[in-house]
Amino acid sequence: MKKLINDPDDVVDEMLDGMTATYPDRLRRLPDTQVLVRDDGPVDDKVGIVTGGGSGHEPTHAGYIGNGMLDGAAAGDVFSSPTADEFEELIGACDAGGGVLAVIKNYEGDVMNFETAIELAEMEGVEVESVVVDDDVAVEDSLYTSGRRGVCGTILVHKAAGAKAAQGADLGEVKRVAEKVVDNVGTMGTALTSCVTPEKGEPTFDLGDDEIELGIGIHGEPGTERTETMPADKITEELTEAVLDDLDLDEGQEVLTIVNGMGATPQMELFVVNRRLQELLSECGLETYDAWVGDYMTSLDMAGASITVCAVDDELKELFDAPADTPALTTK
């Protein structure tokens, strides 16, 4: 294993300190926690938007803290959920009188610990709502989930909910637009290599030099098929077809797309994927309103990519276009 780390047991703690040292005017770490919040927050009477989960998916989660998106995020150990106590600290720190929306990716640890934290926060008088993101169309159940996994589509939930909250909407309206994104987004990914966790120091799963995994999860969970290496266009077709079959969109529908790198894929390759993705959408009679390409939700040093498609209407386009200023995503 070759990684720029010190002791594997300290990597998350040192990463969080490095983030606050990089963005001292944006991010603040709550004492004795692995929770980061907006340095200028909480904003009076605004709905707080919070999330969290295992580390190793950077820039998810804390990279999206800032105006127009998240108010705070809890970081667990690598690929492990934060504790309920950490989530409770997060919720309390981000409540400014307007209530808090928790955006939860559908992994059993995240769901269970967030639910416990919400109960505790409500006992303290905080109004909390939650949405569970399950945009991965590949599998219904995995090593970590009951039902579909929450993956890169979660970023769009952060964006829409954060924009709605910044407009001054109440908690019910913020939850409504978050659920609207969840209902209209699908994602599927592929792995060309396994990732290597700092604790284990070796590949999480075995993948031959001439093999790829379709439908892989962001923790290395099994996908739908292990197959021989294919050209980029063929991989893009497999992923896109699965997502579009799930969404079942009408001809003429506008969509936002994300080609997301899994951590070790050059942008050159992501743009090659996006080229074919946009051709396929056009062939299906769909219209791309916006296309994002880059690393939005990674899996440490895994080589691979995921494709996200989200159906949009005028309301969602306004929210996705609304200003946001975060370390990982800025819109004007």
Active-site residue set: 57, 219
DSSP string, 186-235: EEEEEESS--B-TTT-SBSS---TTEEEET--TT----SEEEE---HHHH
Dig out the tokens for 88 from the structure.
């409770």
Query: In what helix (H) or strand (E) does residue 311 lie, and over which residues does it extend?
Result: strand 304-311
Q: Can you tell me which residue has the tokens 């001292």?
A: 24
CA triplet 248, 253, 254: central angle to 5 degrees?
A: 120
Residue 250, judged by CB atoms within 10 A of its CB (0-12, 13-18, 19+), counts as exposed
Say if CB 94 and CB 72 are below 8 A apart: yes
Paired residues of 38 in beta bridges? 27
Say if CB 257 and CB 277 are below 8 A apart: yes
- How many separate helices (H) and strands (E) can be counted in the chain? 8, 14
Q: Which one, of 302, 320, 300, lies nearest residue 310 by Cα?
A: 320
